[in-house]
């Protein structure tokens, strides 16, 4: 490495990271001492120099995405020993759970977004943001290739690459069309803020179009048939919000066409909100049917054309065609196209999300993390490791675990394989010994067969985490904590025993803690399912919903805006200007 | 007229206008009485029937446009004897004086708009709104042809025609490019809410693009050169707001590229804000130069390309090319394309706005009104009418006006020709007799020559009204008052003598009352020029500006939103999310 390039690097680092200054002063002073020593420069050991520079150079963390996972990571990162660069096509964080409210103006789009630069600026850390999308990841050379996401002809070079030491992939997912023909072209998704804004405009367009004097009655009915595909929380909330908008606001402004409005909710499964408690599902279905929202269960969409949406009814097998004014598609998620090549490269081409280990590391890489909707944790099965667990636990190698040996390893097993804990809870057992005892005598000595038999069913408790903001946010917090304590944990690992290797894992594995879930049903009523199967439906849950969503805002600005939007809506109703 | 069509009309009217029900009951009862009389039906006098129907049928007023003029008309219309239909491509009224604030997020777009249906709904009158644009006016058949302004393929018939008894053209104007090549393609106008939203997005796009690591220094300078063409109040306010945005908000979020930002204001004339008092102009120019806004006076734009804006400097005659990131074009207004054909049809093809008489009627039509930016009042010259004025005043026909004759006609002259009043005020004279006395003896007898000489210079006081919201709003109020008192004034005309006809004009002529004008200059400073040449510049005027603009809002909703936006900006700054 030449001196000129060293000084260039140093100068850049100094300009970009004032906090580096002290460190740089030290670095640059040492060579000058050499110089004043006279003639010593030639002997300066190249290796020592590199070592020094490496010590000064912070590790570069590149974060892709500014959604829940990426932003929560950034907000919780406290360690100043990293140089962080964020690359995302959106220069803001969006509070996505409020998107259905944005579609009809209960809350304004701008109230649910916060510039990522504002979020990171307050941290007084080396966080750079670049508005671009990453189109290629090169894990061999620790490099990502990016390009500006603005398609407008602003001029200037638009592509660049960024080197990383750690890469955090948190780019989220896209709506899954299940390759249904016409979905991409004719339906609206509800993933981004822009989607919500487009839906809002379209709803008003349709009301205005249906009000024209030249439009026939049949045409009015078609224009005002709003079809929602997917009975998950998003689809249900959108249908409910749309019903409120029509009922509370538009019916006063467009009284002559109110009677033509129809909202249809298509769900391929047996029930809407099927991830919720039965009581909630039933309540929602009854409420919708009372309000005239046409819920069609077991209805598979097979095709969407510019005029009609075609379904196949599972019960009767009939094909049904529905003329529509607008279709909102909210059936689930799939991988973003930018990620497909990387997934192929790492041998995960056929998966629907990047597979990671329990420490959120992409399988096969120690420095690439993936979290949020774009990733799924591939929990290790106990039964795959059962032999190595046993041999590791059997310290004296007598082929049996005595009480002491068992006691020593049990915490590590539960830590490393969280499904064990879930299984114990499900069976209402106190500890893992109970599993063994059940199938053996009470001596406390366990052989490999007993061990296997005892744990044989625990893997049935493994399930993928839902693709929710809650999971992504918890992963972001978890990963930030890992980075915050990286140095400390390198020295004093706090994770469980490595059953297949030596030593311990640096960190405890990620553990999701479900805090409950809401399903707003319109008319100031919300269904809430809280931990411990506690279910609450009605106006009180709506107030709980208001408080939780207000408290979860990322800034006081958005908190103020969201609350004032709710107030504004109570007093003045929703705005129907078509802008 | 056949019965079937009578019933159809009646039924439609009944459905659309519940308040017509009583009238319709009477109308329909009478024929049934005829029927029950047996055989009398055949004798029903067609003329009487038509008479009856006419009596029941309200006169149809069609209003084109929902800007200042149209909306103020609707808000002030109180008479229920009209059937009003509003046709406009925008289903909302926009408080346009706040558009420069919207471009950079001091105020949100949605805070300055109010749905026209909300405005009219509260009036409990027969006001229908149709979101469409009028593309042809057929004054011979009293018909306007409209089509839906949504270009999306929503289906259904999109064209229709509307009959009118009175037509009110208030469609505003478009930005005038003076046929400068490239302006349409490459610059941003600032006329509509959408324009302001586009500008906001573009500003943030440019900041993000300039932040990319692959963009050269030269390119950064180009991207962050913001050019404003036109030193009128809009251009100046936009430049000031943009400066504030960069200085207050963006410089904190984009510290590394702040030094590349440049704002250039091009003005073809000698000074910016040239319609204001000199003190204001000078203050603004000094303030801008202190803040680093590059004001170039005498700079004519001759061409805009995708990369550069080319000007010719009036002083030196030099051609200058400026690379730019964004150009905002705000140089004046021209007629909307939709109106050009109508203007040709009525022989006004070469004009820049529709010419109306002092009662806002399009010249040559008794039932077509034009107001706001699309119209200009063609004030009648005194000297054109001098002979008929004299002969009308000379009641005894002796070729001379004695004091009594003069006294009788003087109010009508001043009412009919407002320039007389302006001239008297300018000369600080009390009454019109002083004009005559100056050139004649004190006998009080005036002959035609003295009369001519006395009034020979008054026409010099005529000038076109500025194209401002204030003028449009006053015209809207004026016209609504005319319509409110239409029946009363038909019977008891209150206008001045018709010098070229018999009797009196129904209404007093429209008279503009200038209430002052603001020019916000950024940094919480505003210049205010109030009537009586009262000039105020600084923070106090900014507070006056806040109060006036808050009080002038069309609804409590927008008032609340605008004030809360200002508050939000004070506390949290402006949002820089690119949505």
What residues does each domain of chain B span? 3-57, 60-173+335-373, 183-334+515-572, 382-461
pLDDT at B311: 95
CA of A89 vs chain B CAs: smallest distance (Å): 10
Q: What is the pLDDT of residues A268-307, one digit of tens each?
A: 999 999 989 999 999 999 999 999 999 999 999 999 999 9
Compute the distance between CA of residue B426 and CA of residue B429 in angstroms, rounded to an integer: 8
Range from A20-29, A161-170, A268-277, A467-476 carrying the lowest mean pLDDT: A20-29
Nearest chain B residue (CA) to A16: B256
Q: Single out the residue of A430, A429, A414, A434 nearest to residue A511, CA to CA.
A: A414
Tokens of A111: 């109230």
Contact A577 B114 (CB under 8 A): yes
Residue B115 contacts residue B159 (beta carbons within 8 Å): no
Nearest by CB to A253, which of B118, B150, B152?
B118
Among all chains, which residue has been given the structure tokens 């004093």?
Answer: A492
Q: Which residues of A touch B225 (CB under 8 A)?
A: none
Task: Tell me the average pLDDT across A320-346.
Answer: 92
Compute the distance between CA of residue A565 and CA of residue A111 in angstroms, rounded to an integer: 8
Contact A110 B108 (CB under 8 A): yes
Q: CA dihedral in degrees (A434, A440, A442, A447; nearest 10)?
A: -90
Q: Which CATH architecture has domain A183-334+515-572?
A: 3-Layer(bba) Sandwich (3.50)
Banded pLDDT at A41 (limits 50, 70, 90): very low
Banded pLDDT at A157 (limits 50, 70, 90): low
Banded pLDDT at B460 (limits 50, 70, 90): confident
Q: Which residues of A touch B11 (CB under 8 A)?
A: none
pLDDT of residue B22 exceeding 50, the answer is no
pLDDT at B20: 40
Compute the distance between CA of residue B496 and CA of residue B413 in angstroms, rounded to an integer: 8
pLDDT at B9: 46
Residue B162 contacts residue B146 (beta carbons within 8 Å): yes
Q: Single out the residue of B32, B26, B15 nearest to residue B52, CA to CA.
A: B26
| Number of Cβ atoms within 10 Å of the Cβ of B54 | 9
Q: Which residues of A touch B577 (CB under 8 A)?
A: 91-92, 110, 113-115
**CA-angle at A41, arms to A40 and A42, nearest 5°:** 95
pLDDT of residue B151 exceeding 80, the answer is no
On whether any CB of chain A is under 8 Å from the CB of B162, the answer is yes
pLDDT of residue B178 exceeding 70, the answer is yes
The count of CB pairs under 8 A between chains A and B is 181
More confident: A432 or B416? B416
Tokens of A490: 């390198």
Contact A215 B577 (CB under 8 A): no
Q: Which residues of B touch A212 (CB under 8 A)?
A: 130-132, 148, 156-158, 160
Q: What is the pLDDT of residues B399-409, one digit of tens each?
A: 888 878 888 88
pLDDT of residue B26 exceeding 60, the answer is no
Which chain A residues in 529-568 lie under 8 Å from chain B, judged by CB atoms? 556-557, 560-561, 564, 568
Beta-carbon-side half-sphere exposure of residue B337 (alpha carbons within 13 Å): 2
Range from A466-475, A515-524, B492-501 carrying the lowest mean pLDDT: B492-501
Q: Single out the residue of B529, B571, B519 nearest to residue B232, CA to CA.
A: B519
Nearest chain A residue (CA) to B18: A256
Q: Which residues pair with A273 in a beta bridge?
A: none
Helix H or strand E segment including A204: helix A193-210
Tokens of A370: 């993936």
CA B230 vs. chain centroid, Å, equals 19
On whether any CB of chain B is under 8 Å from the CB of A153, the answer is yes
Contact A115 B572 (CB under 8 A): no
Contact B216 A153 (CB under 8 A): no
Name the 3-class secondary structure at A492: coil
pLDDT of residue A507 exceeding 50, the answer is yes
CA B563 vs. chain centroid, Å, equals 25
* Average predicted confidence (pLDDT) for chain A: 86
Percent of chain B with pLDDT over 90: 61
Banded pLDDT at B412 (limits 50, 70, 90): confident
Contact A575 B113 (CB under 8 A): yes
Compute the distance between CA of residue B145 and CA of residue B151 in angstroms, rounded to an integer: 17
More confident: A9 or B136? B136
Q: Single out the residue of B268, B326, B336, B352 nearest to residue B302, CA to CA.
A: B268
pLDDT of residue B28 exceeding 50, the answer is no
Compute the distance between CA of residue B544 and CA of residue B518 in angstroms, rounded to an integer: 9
Cβ neighbors of B333 (< 8 A, separation 6 or more) are B173, B174, B175, B176, B352, B373, B467
> Can you give the three-state secondary structure of A50-109, one letter per residue?
HHHHHHHCCEEEEEECCCHHHHHHHHHCCCCCEEEEEEECCCEEECHHHHHHHCCCCCCH
pTM of this prediction exceeds 0.80: yes
Contact B579 A193 (CB under 8 A): yes
Task: Tell me the average pLDDT across B548-575.
Answer: 93
Nearest by CB to A121, which of B219, B252, B579?
B252
Beta-carbon-side half-sphere exposure of residue B567 (alpha carbons within 13 Å): 10
On whether any CB of chain A is under 8 Å from the CB of B194, the answer is yes
pLDDT at B142: 95
On whether any CB of chain B is under 8 Å from the CB of A570, the answer is no
Task: Tell me the average pLDDT across B111-123.
Answer: 90
pLDDT of residue A42 exceeding 80, the answer is no
pLDDT at A6: 42
pLDDT at B55: 62
DSSP A266-332: EESSSSTTTTS-HHHHHHHHHHHHHHT-EEEETEEEEEE-SSEEEEEETTT--EEEEE-SEEEE-S-
pLDDT of residue B441 exceeding 50, the answer is yes
Compute the distance between CA of residue B220 and CA of residue B261 in angstroms, rounded to an integer: 8
Compute the distance between CA of residue B205 and CA of residue A334 in angstroms, rounded to an integer: 28
CA of B257 vs chain A CAs: smallest distance (Å): 12
Percent of chain A with pLDDT over 90: 61
pLDDT of residue A330 exceeding 70, the answer is yes
Contact A209 B148 (CB under 8 A): yes
pLDDT of residue A434 exceeding 80, the answer is no
Percent of chain B with pLDDT over 70: 88
A52 burial via Cβ count (<10 Å: 0-12, 13-18, 19+): middle
Q: What is the pLDDT of residues A73-116, one digit of tens each?
A: 999 999 888 999 999 999 999 999 999 999 999 999 999 999 99
Compute the distance between CA of residue A52 and CA of residue A34 in angstroms, rounded to an integer: 14
Q: Single out the residue of B283, B247, B292 nearest to residue B523, CA to CA.
A: B247
Banded pLDDT at A155 (limits 50, 70, 90): low
Banded pLDDT at B520 (limits 50, 70, 90): very high
pLDDT of residue A433 exceeding 80, the answer is no
Contact A209 B253 (CB under 8 A): no
Banded pLDDT at A426 (limits 50, 70, 90): confident
Task: Tell me the average pLDDT across A246-254.
Answer: 91
pLDDT at B390: 87
Which chain B residues in 288-317 lie under 8 Å from chain A, judged by CB atoms? 306-307
Compute the distance between CA of residue B112 and CA of residue B552 in angstroms, rounded to an integer: 11
Residue A156 contacts residue B215 (beta carbons within 8 Å): yes
Contact A307 B155 (CB under 8 A): yes
More confident: A48 or A310? A310
> Can you give the three-state secondary structure of B112-164, one letter per residue?
HEEEHHHHHHCCCCCEEEEEEEEEEEECCCCEEEEEECCCCCCCCCCEEEEEC
Nearest chain A residue (CA) to B15: A256
Q: State the fold for domain B382-461.
A: Recoverin; domain 1 (1.10.238)
* Average predicted confidence (pLDDT) for chain B: 86
B538 burial via Cβ count (<10 Å: 0-12, 13-18, 19+): middle
Task: Tell me the average pLDDT across B30-43.
Answer: 39
pLDDT at B111: 94
pLDDT of residue B449 exceeding 70, the answer is yes
Q: What is the pLDDT of residues B308-364, one digit of tens each?
A: 999 999 888 899 999 999 999 999 899 998 899 999 998 888 888 999 999 999 999
pLDDT of residue B10 exceeding 80, the answer is no
On whether any CB of chain A is under 8 Å from the CB of B251, the answer is no
Compute the distance between CA of residue B372 and CA of residue A102 in angstroms, rounded to an integer: 35
On whether any CB of chain A is under 8 Å from the CB of B36, the answer is no
Q: CA dihedral in degrees (A446, A450, A455, A456; nearest 10)?
A: 170
Contact B131 A208 (CB under 8 A): yes
* Matching CATH number, A60-173+335-373, of 3.50.50.60, 3.90.226.10, 3.30.70.890, 3.40.80.10: 3.50.50.60
Q: Which residues of A touch B152 (CB under 8 A)?
A: 205
pLDDT at B52: 64
Nearest chain A residue (CA) to B131: A208
CA of B215 vs chain A CAs: smallest distance (Å): 6
pLDDT at A126: 79
Compute the distance between CA of residue B39 and CA of residue B249 in angstroms, rounded to an integer: 84
Burial B385-416 (b: 16+ CB within 10 A, else e): bbeebbebbbeeeeebbeeebbeebbebbbbb
pLDDT at B448: 84
Banded pLDDT at A198 (limits 50, 70, 90): very high
Tokens of A458: 């625990």
Range from A153-167, A258-272, A486-500 carrying the lowest mean pLDDT: A153-167
Task: Tell me the average pLDDT across B540-557.
Answer: 93
Q: Single out the residue of A80, A76, A33, A26 nearest to residue A53, CA to CA.
A: A26
Q: Which residues of A touch B121 (CB under 8 A)?
A: 252-253
Nearest by CB to A91, which of B153, B561, B577?
B577
B160 burial via Cβ count (<10 Å: 0-12, 13-18, 19+): middle
Residue A114 contacts residue A92 (beta carbons within 8 Å): yes
């Amino acid at each position: 490495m030449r001196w000129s390039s060293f000084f260039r690097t140093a100068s850049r680092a100094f300009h970009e990271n004032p906090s580096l200054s002290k460190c740089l002063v030290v670095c640059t002073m040492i060579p000058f001492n050499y110089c004043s020593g006279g003639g010593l420069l030639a002997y300066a050991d190249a290796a020592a120099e590199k070592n020094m520079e490496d010590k000064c150079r912070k590790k570069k963390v590149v974060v892709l995405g500014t959604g829940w996972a990426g932003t929560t990571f950034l907000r919780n990162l406290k360690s100043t020993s990293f140089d962080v660069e964020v690359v995302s096509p959106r220069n803001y964080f969006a509070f996505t759970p409020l998107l259905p409210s944005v579609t009809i103006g209960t809350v304004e789009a701008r109230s649910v977004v916060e510039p990522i630069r504002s979020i990171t600026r307050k941290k007084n850390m080396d966080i750079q943001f670049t508005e671009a999308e990453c189109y290629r990841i090169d894990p061999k050379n620790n490099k990502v290739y990016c390009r500006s996401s603005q398609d407008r002809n602003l001029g200037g070079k638009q592509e660049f690459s960024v080197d990383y030491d750690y890469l955090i992939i948190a780019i989220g997912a896209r709506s899954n069309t299940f390759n249904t023909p016409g979905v991409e072209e004719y339906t609206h998704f509800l993933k981004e803020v822009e989607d919500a804004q487009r839906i809002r405009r379209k709803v008003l367009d349709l009301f205005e179009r249906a009000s024209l004097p030249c439009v026939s009655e049949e045409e009015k009915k078609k224009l005002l048939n709003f079809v929602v595909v997917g009975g998950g929380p998003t689809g249900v909330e959108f249908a409910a919000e749309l019903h409120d908008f029509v009922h509370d606001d538009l019916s006063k402004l467009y009284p002559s066409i109110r009677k033509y409005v129809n909202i249809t909710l298509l769900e391929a499964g047996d029930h809407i909100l099927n991830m919720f408690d039965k009581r909630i599902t039933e309540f929602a279905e009854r409420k919708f049917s009372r309000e005239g929202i046409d819920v069609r269960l077991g209805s598979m969409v097979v095709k969407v054309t510019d005029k009609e949406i075609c379904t196949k009814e599972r019960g009767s097998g009939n094909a049904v065609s529905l003329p529509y004014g607008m279709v909102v598609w909210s059936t689930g998620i799939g991988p973003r196209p930018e990620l497909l090549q990387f997934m192929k490269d790492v041998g995960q081409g056929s998966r629907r999300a990047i597979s990671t280990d329990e420490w959120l590391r992409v399988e096969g890489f120690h420095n690439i993390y993936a979290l949020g909707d774009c990733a799924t944790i591939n929990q290790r099965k106990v039964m795959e490791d059962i032999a190595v667990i046993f041999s590791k636990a059997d310290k004296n190698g007598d082929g049996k675990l005595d009480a002491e040996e068992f006691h020593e390893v049990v915490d590590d097993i539960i830590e490393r394989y969280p499904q064990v804990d879930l299984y114990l809870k499900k069976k209402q057992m106190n500890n893992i010994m109970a599993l063994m005892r059940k199938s053996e005598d009470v001596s406390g000595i366990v052989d490999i067969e007993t061990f296997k038999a005892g744990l044989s069913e625990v893997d049935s408790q493994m399930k993928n985490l839902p693709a929710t903001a809650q999971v992504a946010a918890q992963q972001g917090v978890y990963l930030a904590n890992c980075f915050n304590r990286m140095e400390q944990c390198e020295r004093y690992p706090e994770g469980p025993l490595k059953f297949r290797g030596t030593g311990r894992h640096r960190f405890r594995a990620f553990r999701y803690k479900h805090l409950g879930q809401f399903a707003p049903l319109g008319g100031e009523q919300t269904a809430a399912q809280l931990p411990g199967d506690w279910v609450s439906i009605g106006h009180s849950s709506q107030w709980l919903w208001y408080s939780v969503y207000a408290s979860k805002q990322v800034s006081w600005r958005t908190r103020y805006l969201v609350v004032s939007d709710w107030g504004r809506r109570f007093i003045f109703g929703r705005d129907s200007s078509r802008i």
